[in-house]
Structure 1
Amino acid sequence: MKKLLFVLGTVLLSNTVLFSQTAFAANQAAELKNKLARLYSYQASFQQTVVDAKNQPVQEQGEGVLTLKQPSQFRFETLSPEPNLFIGDGKTLWHYNELLEQVSLYDAKKEVNRTPFVLLTSNDASLWAQYEVSGEGQQFIITPKDKDNPVRQLVLTFAGTGLSHMAVLDNNGQKTDFEFLAIQNNINIDSSLFKFEVPAGVEVDDLRNK
């Protein structure tokens, strides 16, 4: 009888711990959702560093500008060490490589499902269900449930309303850190920033239906 009671007690304790962990994760996800919902627009310059799995620099420090606007609009522009531009309007994702004089077009919904970046400007429950959220205080750790996701982990750190730091760890162990500067929260941002006009002479690779 004592052994049976011990087993039952262990099972109950394990279930209680599991329930507590699940509830905590749900609370963290809800808190992050609330923070992002209050951030209907965001713009900041950033300094970017990239290191490999051995913490060795992969490239020289980069600089650029990140702009977000609810719902599902973003503009990620790297100015150095080489120019690169990603723009999403919720339907189409453009990637413009200025040095190669090439722009690639993707179906935004297909692409954003593969990265937790989409959570920054989306409250879509079906997307949030694909990720686990943990963390403490002003820092949140987003982990894809799909092990085939190229992003292993996304860490967001807030200072008040705005995003102050972001770190991306990929499946190869490469880590990219973004330190945000000159932060502007909830300002008026023209939606034209989230549209891309293809420059003359630039090669277009339309992958939206592939």
Structure 2
Amino acid sequence: MLKSLLRFTRPLAPLALLAAALSWTLPARADGLSDLESFLRQARQGRASFTQVVSAPRRDGEAAPRSKTSSGSFEFLRPSRFRFHYLKPFEQLIVADGQTLWLYDADLNQATARRQQEVLGNTPAALIATASDLKGLSALFTLANAPDADGQQWVLATPKSRDGQLQSVRLGFRQGQLATLEMLDSFGQRSVMQFGPLDTQSGFKPGHFAFQPPAGADVLRQ
């Protein structure tokens, strides 16, 4: 019986050795948190187009509410600068220059300025544009892997502070690249932002993230 056992096991030994070798060389399966950590550490700057769909919660007995779609471009330079430039259906600009967060409405020719440090804490912008590692984010959000869906690896981020209007954020990564940002506020309104390919190689000219209100604009400082 021993000879029979050896006859059947010896031919399998090379396969076992190969499997052991591959277990050391093959990368571990990606998950949302590892994708997020790589994104924070490696993507020090970037730009991408985006499309955003905002929908209100559906009430009992009511027809499905209409959604609103907008599009534009997103740019960032860690650790403290970013631009969201909404182009359609109307132009709006959100700029963080490192000190001040500017919101500009082109139709109204009105700009609102707030101290960046006071307003960016547990916001989606902190998740994708200003944080540098998971340790910093973990002070503001409870982070957890969410089930894979739509060909993406997901992270669920829940603000630790309950003072704001943000209920939760989900970030989706496709092949290690940020693909989706989904936000749910305390009123049940959902906003889903889909990103195009992220360009992390092109640099920004000095002053790119500065904002100067246009002549004649109303400027509100809060």
Look up the match of 2:93.
85
Contact 2:35 2:176 in 1 (8 A): no
Aligned-partner SS, 2:207: helix
Residue pair 1:42, 1:162 contacting (<8 A) in 2 also: no
**TM-score of the superposition, structure 1-length normalised?**
0.77
Runs of 4+ in 1 over 6 A off after TM superposition: none
Tell me, yes or no, if the aligned pair for 1:116 and 1:131 is still in contact at 8 Å: no
Whichever residue aligns with residue 171 of structure 1, its letter is S
Does the Cα contact within 8 Å between 1:156 and 1:167 map onto a contact in 2?
yes
**Of residues 145, 159, 183 in structure 2, which corresponds to 1:168?**
183
Alpha-carbon distance between aligned partners in 2 of 1:182 and 1:35, rounded to the nearest angstrom? 13
Q: Matches of 1:101 and 1:68 in 2, distance apart?
A: 24
* Structure 1 position 49, deviation (Å): 0.8
Aligned twin of 1:71: 79
Query: 1:56 and 2:65 equivalent?
Result: yes
| Counterpart position of 2:140 | 130
Code of the residue aligned with 2:213 in structure 1: it is V
* Match runs of 1:73-152 below 5 Å: 73-120=81-128, 121-123=130-132, 125=135, 128-136=138-146, 138-152=153-167
Aligned residue for 1:206?
221
Structure 2 residue runs of 5 or longer lacking an equivalent are 1-30, 59-63
SS in 2 for 1:63: strand
The verdict on how the C-alpha distance between 1:192 and 1:161 changes in structure 2, with shifts beyond 3 A counting, is: farther
Structure 1 residue aligned with 2:39: 35
Amino acid of the residue matched to residue 109 of structure 2?
E
Deviations for 1:112-160, whole angstroms, at most 9, x for unmatched residues?
0142421322237555312101124621111101122211111111223
Q: Normalization by structure 2: what TM-score?
A: 0.73
AA in 2 matched with 1:56: P
Identity %: 28
Kindly provide the amino acid, as one letter, of the partner of residue 155 in structure 1: R
- Root-mean-square deviation (CA), in Å? 2.2
Q: Distance in 2 between matches of 1:31 and 1:45?
A: 20
Distance in 2, matches of 1:58 and 1:86, equals 22
Residue aligning to 2:8: none
Take 1:122 and 1:107, find their aligned partners in 2: how far apart are those partners? 17
Bigger Cα displacement from structure 2, 133-142 vs 45-54: 133-142
Q: Secondary structure at the match of 2:187?
A: coil
Query: 5+ unaligned residues in a row in structure 1: which ranges?
Result: 1-26
Query: Which amino acid in 2 is paired with 1:122?
Result: A
